[in-house]
Amino acid sequence: MFHLWEKFINNEELNTSIVREPIYESWVRCKICRIDPFSITGPKLSPGDLNLLLRDNAGLLQVATPMMEDLYQFIKGSRFVIILADREGYILKTLANSAIKGYLTRCNVIPGAYFSERYMGTNAIGTALYIDTPIQVRGEEHYLKIFHSWTGSAAPIHSPEGDIIGCLCIAGPADETHIHNLGMIVSTVNSIEKQFLIKNTIKELQELNSGLLDTLALVLDLKDNYTANHSFNVMNYSNQLAEKLNLSPEQKKELRYAALLHDIGKIGIPDSILNKPSRLTDSEYEFIKQHPVTGAKLLKKARFSPAIIAAVRHHHEYFDGRGYPDQITYKDIPLYARIITIADSFDAMTTYRVYRPPMTKEEAKEEIWLCRRKQFDPELAEIFLTCV
């Protein structure tokens, strides 16, 4: 093979049928780009630019890294290196035995190095990206002489939409490489692409789910004449308190769902009771008091998390135990329920009701302050008053 490469480099007559077609075409591109086969001409990113590149490719790194580590277990201790590059051919990450790190640095196989065919000539990463097909580039098929002792096997990685988002490569000594290396890479890239597809599907389902929850809350707010936007207001106030409490993203998500759906049990209350302008009878009031229990049952059927179900069931409990439905007290009342009850009361007080005008924010804050310890968790009430 070496003499074929040499003839090509020296512009001598060459039997092109002996050189594999994608390799020959790549050599031609290299010649057009005037690549010097005897030096490494590819640019290298500065540490700052490399950090930006890693940040831009955080999603790819997150999905690909565990799979690269699995693959690395098979080559641990050998002279092979696994390389992840971005869609342009910039190296993002390498996994290799520390004994060959010095050699890799001399060959420029380090994060931030640019392995585009345009600068590094025919090579597995650059050529796979250019032809958008997995390829093994063996020994002297490399355009740069420094890589003649190497064989690289690389496959481009595609997004679920079909765009190239990166490239995975395994490279090592040419005399130790097998065609199976390319199979290993293709199979790992397939797993990475499937993982992206799963992530996308989960995101779409979450968006759909979130849209359905919004619709459910809207239906409820429409049913109750006096409480347009109440569910969304309670969610927003709860969210403000959650921010101050530094809840985790997962906790914040659960709290948002619970706050949005806290009154969902009212869906079973007849309009004649729910929207009655005059005073409710005792039995009507007892009926309304069932809504946290009904809501919790509905959410249990819909398989919401136990924390969300508990928050909905207990959002009318009082801190001193005089609430409903279970008359539990203090910290026995779940945190989400203690938050929602403050947000719920504040929104109810500051919005219009047929039987009274809305309170000003200051009046409602005064009321929350007076009812801390009795109705509300005093610590949460104090924090809430700093954020509204």
Q: Considering only 39-47, 141-149, 210-218, 261-269, which stretch makes contact with Fe ion by CB under 5 A? A: 261-269
Residues 357-376 as x/- pattern, contact with Fe ion by CB under 5 A: --------------------
Examine residue 221 and tell whether it contacts Fe ion (CB under 5 A). Answer: no
Helix ranges, the chain (H): 2-9, 21-32, 47-56, 58-75, 101-106, 117-120, 124-131, 180-223, 230-244, 249-260, 271-274, 282-288, 291-301, 306-313, 335-350, 361-370, 378-387
Closer residue to Fe ion (CB): 263 or 317: 263
Closer residue to Fe ion (CB): 37 or 265: 265
Closer residue to Fe ion (CB): 81 or 264: 264
The minimum distance between CB 332 and Fe ion, in angstroms, equals 19
Instruction: Mention every residue, 6+ apart, whose C-beta is less than 8 A from residue 228.
Output: 221, 222
Closer residue to Fe ion (CB): 63 or 220: 220
State which of residues 117, 140, 221, 263 lies at the interface with Fe ion (CB under 5 A). Answer: 263
Closer residue to Fe ion (CB): 152 or 265: 265
The minimum distance between CB 312 and Fe ion, in angstroms, equals 9
Rg for the chain, CA atoms, rounded = 32
Tell me how many residues contact Fe ion (CB under 5 A): 1
Q: Considering only 81-89, 166-174, 260-268, 306-314, which stretch makes contact with Fe ion by CB under 5 A? A: 260-268
The minimum distance between CB 266 and Fe ion, in angstroms, equals 7
Number of Cβ within a 10 Å radius of residue 116: 20
Q: Considering only 47-55, 216-224, 256-264, 372-380, which stretch makes contact with Fe ion by CB under 5 A? A: 256-264
Q: Considering only 61-69, 81-89, 171-179, 257-265, which stretch makes contact with Fe ion by CB under 5 A? A: 257-265
Cα–Cα distance, 357 to 7 (Å, whole number): 93
Q: Using DSSP, state whether 74 is helix, strand or coil.
A: helix
Whole-angstrom CA distances from 294 to 123, 191, 289, 298, 322 are 65, 44, 10, 6, 20
Cα–Cα distance, 374 to 279 (Å, whole number): 25
The minimum distance between CB 316 and Fe ion, in angstroms, equals 6
Closer residue to Fe ion (CB): 138 or 266: 266
Q: What are phi and psi of 353, to 5 degrees?
A: -125, 150
Q: What CA dihedral angle connects 369, 373, 376 and 381, to 10 degrees? A: 50
The minimum distance between CB 342 and Fe ion, in angstroms, equals 13
Cα–Cα distance, 39 to 1 (Å, whole number): 20
Binding site for Fe ion (CB under 5 A): 263
